Structure 1
Amino acid sequence: MTKTNAGYFFEDYQVGQVFRHGPLRNVEEGERALYQALYPTRFAVAVSDPVAMALGLEGAPLDDMIVFHKVFGATVPDISLNAVANLGYADLRWLKRVPPGSALEAVTRVIGLKQNSNGKTGIVWVQTVGLDAQGDEVLTFVRWVMVRKRDVDAPAPETVVPDLPEAVPAADLHVPEGLDFTHWDKVGVRAPHRWGDYAVGEVIDHVDGVTLSEAEHMMATRLWQNTAKVHYDVTSRPDGRRLIYGGHIISMARALSFNGLEGAEFMAAINAGAHANPAFSGDTLRAWSEVLEKAETDVPGVGALRLRLVATKGGEAGALKGEDGKYLPDVLLDLDYWALMPI
């Protein structure tokens, strides 16, 4: 009788199935320090108590992506342990900023299934909610993942593909309670551009590059408790290489975007996201952004920018897809998200 868990395979999932994932450990200041060591993030509110307090917050909240990583990582043993790849995201919303020391847990519901034509894998759509110790929702998102079948002869389930929103409406964006950008010019933040300085259609080349390494990637996957086999075990892929965790690419690209988007302090929502091509150790990551939309919020002084953040391994800023409509081979990430910044 085995006492170990080999994880779920595609035929194990059913639409409506609910997973209450094991509780996460508290998210402490140590995670913040490690995050800043892994990613060259410089957004001031998440790294400076004095700045956060001058802008009306009780203290510096954890970086938005730390919260995402912790909740995402909790889902891996039940959702993507046997994944071939995590494919995309939609309707991701940060609902409550999280201070250091918070305890988080995650609950996931299966909302869609579709077996692939090869009969060996299938796509699983899930909706995950992250909760704090008070039971308040801090984060919610949909993602879809390609998962292996245990038995290729297992019958295909009824195909259910969820109808997902194209974007989170600007009116639904959560602005941190107490946030007041009227003192922005007095807190010493080196951010020369405000919301009004950006134009729809503008493309920003973030210039800098970071070469991905095995050491940093493995530290990140362990830190976020992401146990997906493709990130750890070189025998789980035919090419014998460890796939870089997609969230690692998002955090690195977001950190690089500071150069040109210094005032985009908060990620408020992710409308859509695709990991266009795999990334491996040794790839040099660069990033560019396109301004897709602008909106004012109901909080004075706080504006929202809808941005396309693209991570590449060598492509030119603005180059995304070929004439065939497919992503160019150098494109690693295509992320459509809302950011909050001073007007």
Structure 2
Amino acid sequence: MKTKEFQKVLQEKNIDACILFNTSNNKKDYNATYFSGLDLELFFVVIPKKKKPFVIVSNLEIGRAKKISKLPVIGFEKDLFKLLKKKIGNVNSLGVNFKNVSLFESKLLKKEICKKLVDVSDGLKELRETKTNEEIKIIEKAAKVGDEIFSETIKNWKNLKTEIDVKLFMDSEIRKRGFEPAFETVVNSGSNASHGHFSAQDERLKKGFCILDFGVKIDNYNSDMTRTIYIGNPSKKEIETYNNLKIIQQKCIDSIKECMKFSDLDNIARKSIGKELIHALGHGLGIEVHEGPNVGPSSKDKIKIGHLFTVEPGIYVKDKFGIRIEDDVVLTKKGVKVLTKSSKELITV
């Protein structure tokens, strides 16, 4: 990943080294995963401003860590901070992601390693917002698997009776291919779809629009796609409503260009849909399912080459129906590339 670029940031700000870490499965710093390729409960990534970065993990995890990470891996059994101090050395300033570090952890770092802590959270955010070709390829692979899952789900629809049945089938198909769902798979049928994001229910699939929102995680990177199908026979008005949303979504994709404000892109959908669009047009996508850039009405971000994000306008009428169409897109030097390829024609089942 962009290790050398981040080291340049450290050098420019005269920060001797940076430490990033996970302390539990409930408290993750995805920046540690970004630089190391690891997703462990407890590990530390140290990035000196000039020397090669390294990882410190529990001896229990060292075998797995060495297989996965491209960085040198050091194991610890006890005296963790003594080891950290020894490997980091004497430093005058230490970069820390303040958005992920508790007050207790800050005090501990100041006491054991370096008295001067410098916040590097903004630099990390900006660095990760634009994707490298390697990152784009991984997400594109995840999107391709997602297309396969959607196709397989439609083929097997007659065997699925409840929203939970559909969710479990999709999750199972992802795992059969050796990957993991990127997040909790959303299956909302009938009036359930009017809430936007609603957990799949253990109840019979309802007639009407049905939202399928799911993603695939590969090598810590995520895809995220939504397709809306119809259970039963849609009326002429329902077909028109769906096709109108499809046109709006495509207009948004066609409008993407470098230096455009994301708020202006969001407004293309919002001025056509109005109050029935109850969420942002999209979100950045990468190691986190929701990360920078901000793709919403209040965004101050402008579109850059390498920005990878979702475009997912929706129409929601409370307690009646919901429709959403979502694609993963990336702006390249050659233009906009859509990574999710599944058909957006209204499928009836």
TM-score range, shorter chain: under 0.3
Q: Which is helix-richer, 1 or 2? A: 2
TM-score, scaled to structure 1 = 0.25
